[in-house]
C-alpha cells in the first residue's frame, strides 16, 4: 500500500469518526432520526472493512497476541467505565440493579455502548488469524470456515454476522493483494446512488441492501473528495483530516466522555439555533480536541505504554 492510499484511508477514517461522534449526540440523533439510522447502516461497517483490509495476517503468533492484548486493555477499561456509568446515569442503555454477573456478561460477552466495535474486531481478528495459520489452507476454505465460525458466534449473540462479513471482505481483499482502489473504484458518479439511498431511506427499508450500497458508495466517493481537496490546494483541510484519521482510536475511546458533557451546554446553543448545527459544530470540536488532549496527557504522563502498549499515541 503506497503513501497516497494510506492518506486516502486516513481521510475516510476521519469522516467516519466524525459521523460517529455526530450521532452519539443525543439531541442530533433525536432531531434527525432518519439521518442517524441511515448513517448507522454504513459508518461502522466501513470501519470494519478498513480494519479487515489493514489487518496484518502475516504477523507471528506472539506479535498477533500482543496486538490483541493492546486492543483488549483499552476495551476493558472503557467498557467497564461505560457499564458503571450506565448503572447510575439516566442514559438510553441504563442498567437497573447491576450485579457482578451482569457486569461480567456485558464486559466479556455482550457489550453495550460504542465499544462493541473493539469486541467485534478482537473476535473477528482472532478467528481469521487462527484459521489463516493452518498449513495449506486454501483461500476459499479459509473464508468459508471463517464465515461459519463467525456465524456460530453470531448465534451466541457475540457478534453481528453482517458486521463480521464486512471485516472478512476487507481481509479477503488484503489476502488477494487487491489494491483498495481496484475494488472500491473512486468515482464521482457514485455520489448519485449514495444520494438516492440517503434521500429515499426509511425505517422500513431493507437495511442489509441499503448498508451494502452505502458502504460501497462511501468507500468509493470519499477518496474522490480527498483528491478534490488536494487538487484545490486545500492542504490544511486534508492534512487536518488525515491527522484526525490517524488518531481515530483515541477519538473512538474518549469522545463519549465529551458527548455526555455536551448536554451541559446544549440548552444554550440549541436556544440560539434550534436546528442543532451550532451545537453540533461546537460539540465535534469539543469531542475531537478533548480526546486528542487526553492522548497527549497520557503520553506526557507515560501512561500510554500501559494502556495502548505504545510510548506515544499522538504523532
Write the DSSP string, 20-48.
HHHTTSHHHHHHSHHHHHHHHTTHHHHHH
pLDDT of residue 2: 46
pLDDT over 50 at 3, yes or no: no
pLDDT over 50 at 4, yes or no: no
pLDDT band for 1, please (50, 70, 90 cuts): very low
C-alpha 16/C-alpha 45 separation (Å) is 10
pLDDT of residue 88: 86
| Sequential DSSP letters for 210-270 | HHHHHHHHHHHHHHHHHHHHHHTT-HHHHHHHHHHHHTHHHHHHHHHHHHHHGGGTHHHHH
Mean per-residue pLDDT of the chain? 92
**pLDDT tens for each residue of 23-78:** 999 999 999 999 999 999 999 999 999 999 999 988 999 999 999 999 999 999 99
Q: Is 269 left (phi over 0), alpha (psi -120 to 50) or beta?
A: alpha
Lowest pLDDT segment from 47-56, 88-97, 217-226: 88-97
Contact between 215 and 45 (Cβ < 8 Å): yes
pLDDT over 80 at 6, yes or no: no
- % the chain with pLDDT above 70: 98
C-alpha 91/C-alpha 155 separation (Å) is 28
pLDDT band for 230, please (50, 70, 90 cuts): confident
Question: Taking Cα atoms as reference points, which of 223, 166, 213 lies closest to residue 192?
Answer: 213
Q: What are phi and psi of 91, to 5 degrees?
A: -95, 175
pLDDT of residue 235: 73
pLDDT of residue 94: 82
- Stated pTM of the model: 0.92
Tell me what the mean pLDDT of segment 297-314 comes to.
95
C-alpha cell at 66: 500482543
Tell me what the mean pLDDT of segment 130-159 comes to.
94
Tell me what the mean pLDDT of segment 241-255 comes to.
96
Tell me what the mean pLDDT of segment 289-312 comes to.
96
Tell me what the mean pLDDT of segment 280-298 comes to.
98
pLDDT over 60 at 5, yes or no: no
Lowest pLDDT segment from 21-25, 83-87, 165-169: 83-87
* Per-residue exposure over 203-215, b if at least 16 CB sit within 10 Å of its own CB, e if not: eebebeebbbbbb
Amino acid at each position: 500500500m503506497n503513501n497516497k492510499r494510506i492518506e486516502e484511508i486516513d481521510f475516510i477514517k476521519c469522516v467516519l469518526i466524525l459521523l460517529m461522534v455526530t450521532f452519539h449526540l443525543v439531541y442530533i440523533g433525536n432531531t434527525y432520526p432518519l439521518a442517524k439510522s441511515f448513517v448507522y447502516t454504513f459508518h461502522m461497517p466501513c470501519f470494519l472493512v478498513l480494519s479487515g483490509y489493514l489487518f496484518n495476517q502475516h504477523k507471528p503468533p506472539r506479535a498477533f497476541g500482543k496486538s490483541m492484548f493492546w486492543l483488549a486493555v483499552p476495551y476493558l477499561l472503557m467498557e467497564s467505565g461505560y457499564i458503571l456509568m450506565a448503572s447510575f446515569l439516566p442514559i438510553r442503555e441504563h442498567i437497573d440493579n447491576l450485579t457482578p454477573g451482569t457486569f461480567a456478561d456485558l464486559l466479556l460477552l455482550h457489550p453495550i455502548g460504542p465499544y462493541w466495535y473493539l469486541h467485534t474486531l478482537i473476535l473477528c481478528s482472532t478467528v481469521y488469524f487462527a484459521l489463516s495459520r493452518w498449513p495449506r489452507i486454501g483461500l476459499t476454505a479459509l473464508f468459508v470456515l471463517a464465515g461459519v465460525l463467525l456465524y456460530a458466534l453470531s448465534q451466541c449473540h457475540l457478534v453481528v454476522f453482517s458486521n463480521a462479513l464486512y471485516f472478512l471482505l476487507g481481509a479477503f481483499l488484503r489476502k488477494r493483494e487487491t489494491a483498495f482502489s481496484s475494488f472500491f473504484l473512486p468515482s464521482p458518479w457514485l455520489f448519485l446512488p449514495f444520494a438516492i439511498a440517503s434521500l429515499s431511506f426509511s425505517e422500513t427499508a431493507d437495511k442489509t441492501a441499503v448498508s451494502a450500497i452505502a458502504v460501497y458508495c462511501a468507500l468509493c466517493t470519499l477518496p474522490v473528495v480527498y483528491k478534490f481537496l488536494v487538487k484545490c490546494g486545500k492542504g490544511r483541510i486534508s492534512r487536518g483530516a488525515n491527522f484526525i484519521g490517524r488518531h481515530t482510536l483515541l477519538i473512538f475511546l474518549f469522545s463519549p466522555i465529551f458527548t455526555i458533557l455536551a448536554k451541559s451546554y446544549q440548552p444554550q446553543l440549541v436556544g440560539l439555533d434550534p436546528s442543532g448545527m451550532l451545537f453540533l459544530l461546537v460539540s465535534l470540536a469539543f469531542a475531537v480536541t478533548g480526546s486528542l488532549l487526553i492522548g497527549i496527557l497520557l503520553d506526557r504522563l507515560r501512561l500510554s505504554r500501559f494502556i495502548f502498549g505504545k510510548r506515544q499515541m499522538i504523532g
